Structure 1
């Protein structure tokens, strides 16, 4: 029997080592894992629990301090993509799909189903998005037109908020960005927005990495924007020749909340809800592959039931 191609799972995590271990164990079937641990956190509690030949933790050289809303989230993801592609090249492996997850995710379909799903959609890139340049709404213009300073944190959370607010207000008295960007070649790029969590083919990942290296103007534009991780990758994708290769055949109409553009995840509209046992029926009937957000603090009973009834396993984190 021909060996099936591997899936690469990229995971961005900052807390909950027991759940990260459980997540890796749940997906560990013909898969490689590339994990970024927020550099603000010690990595040892994660590496002591997860020691497998197919798991790569980014080293301190490639780990970044991740701040909510900041470009640091984009940089951490780019570093994961680079590590994944470099490993694939060394091993002469072309991954079936490169799937970006958070450390608060969990599969709700078993591994055979996930592999079959990606086999049946081998040419599809799972990244949905809307054109927020054309939408021209106050909500998203605030995110991209203002110079917003989220890529730092002082010793005091209160002082951090005060300084950020001062910078955000003061700088934007004097200057604002357009709600589109211009490349160094003078080409206009509309800005797109969607969910942070996606699954892409290798050729698209290579294209994104090449654009990130070449398009310094794009990186500068998003470096001082809000929630760049929900815009940077989508903007590069939907301004490329791959724009119609996603599951919707291209961009979608404007909707004023991010969860509407979930790709493979069941996500609450608030983006903040922790799923628990009361949500099992919604998870069981979902056509998504993953649920977000779950944890070892809020969701153990739910995860145990997912293992028993959906994944058909009796899993332990130990």
Structure 2
């Protein structure tokens, strides 16, 4: 059985290298996407002669602005390239700030014994854990005011009651002043989630059998409007794949279980999710009873937590 790790990264080349080396086995391949806005050379340097590690280049690279469609496109690009070149049994999506909670043999055995299971959080929208159930994400046009994290605005269409407000006037004036006038044409059309599937949402990170990935690619190719629609969705990566799998599940009754990546959304300091430090080791140890991976870590903030995981969890 072969595992393809798709890794999306934008910083800390040393940490990405450590993650790949930790997961590297005869049965693994790695397809790594580095944010288009970041210099790629430092990430590639440790793997120049490693044929198991492929970096997406040129037109395969996408901009990773927070909450934007780039993460979805990057994931699709990696899926397509890996299918053409390797066609593994399992695709696992990680970020460059993830780390395993179980050793490689345990991970292999788990997927070997559960080859047909789709590990992805999938909740019907509206979702209780998201503001407004997440409906604003799919019923309003998300416009980037800049490339800064969270610097966005939601624009209703002329068919929505809240279009007719002073707030909307302010938003339109801002877009006009900042040269984003083209987005205003969108307000002439009511934004609706595509009628041929139902919206589902959940955590970004998943592990999927190759058959599911092939079906996802086929769906995207036969419904190009679906990808276009999500250009104006906030955090489309938390909805895009989940809704397709919901569609596939209705047709094929897939085996679906929760994501195997542990994330703590409790805000400690700074924007969530929690960045784990050495003091959080016991939490990670407990999480390892149910999860194979965790995020997020920052090698510049606390390297010792990764060392602790290596020495105590990943023997």
Structure 2 CA distance for aligned equivalents of residues 162 and 118 of structure 1: 41
Contact between 2:68 and 2:231, CA under 8 Å: does it hold in 1? yes
Alignment of 1:220-239 (within 5 A): 220-239=228-247
Task: After TM superposition, give the deviation of residue 246 of structure 1 in Å.
Answer: 3.5
Aligned partner of 2:37 among 33, 36, 40 = 40
Task: Give the SS at the match of 1:128.
Answer: coil
The alignment yields a C-alpha RMSD, in angstroms, of 2.7
Structure 2 CA distance for aligned equivalents of residues 226 and 162 of structure 1: 10
Structure 1 CA distance for aligned equivalents of residues 291 and 301 of structure 2: 21
Task: After TM superposition, give the deviation of residue 198 of structure 1 in Å.
Answer: 0.2
Task: After TM superposition, give the deviation of residue 133 of structure 1 in Å.
Answer: 5.5
Structure 2 CA distance for aligned equivalents of residues 283 and 247 of structure 1: 24
Q: Which residue of 2 aligns with 1:251?
A: none
Aligned partner of 1:105 among 90, 98, 111 = 98
Could you state the TM-score of these two structures normalised by the residue count of structure 2?
A: 0.81
Task: After TM superposition, give the deviation of residue 97 of structure 1 in Å.
Answer: 1.1
Aligned partner of 2:81 among 80, 83, 86 = 83
Task: After TM superposition, give the deviation of residue 298 of structure 1 in Å.
Answer: 2.0
Which has the larger displacement, 125-134 or 12-21? 125-134
Q: Which residue of 2 aligns with 1:315?
A: none
Task: Give the SS at the match of 1:101.
Answer: strand
Q: Any gaps of 5 or more consecutive residues in structure 2?
A: 156-170, 267-271
Could you state the TM-score of these two structures normalised by the residue count of structure 1?
A: 0.81
Aligned partner of 1:211 among 219, 225, 229 = 219
Q: Any gaps of 5 or more consecutive residues in structure 1?
A: 89-93, 183-187, 249-261, 313-318
Q: Which residue of 2 aligns with 1:177?
A: 191
Structure 1 residues 266 and 162, CA gap change in structure 2 (3 angstroms): closer
Q: Which residue of 2 aligns with 1:91?
A: none
Task: After TM superposition, give the deviation of residue 163 of structure 1 in Å.
Answer: 11
Q: Is 1:190 the equivalent of 2:201?
A: no
**Equivalences, count:** 280
Q: Which residue of 1 aligns with 2:312?
A: 309
Q: Is 1:20 the equivalent of 2:33?
A: no
Task: After TM superposition, give the deviation of residue 233 of structure 1 in Å.
Answer: 0.5
| Cα deviation digits, residues 168-211 of structure 1 (max 9, x gap) | 99667654413x313xxxxx311110111001111111111111
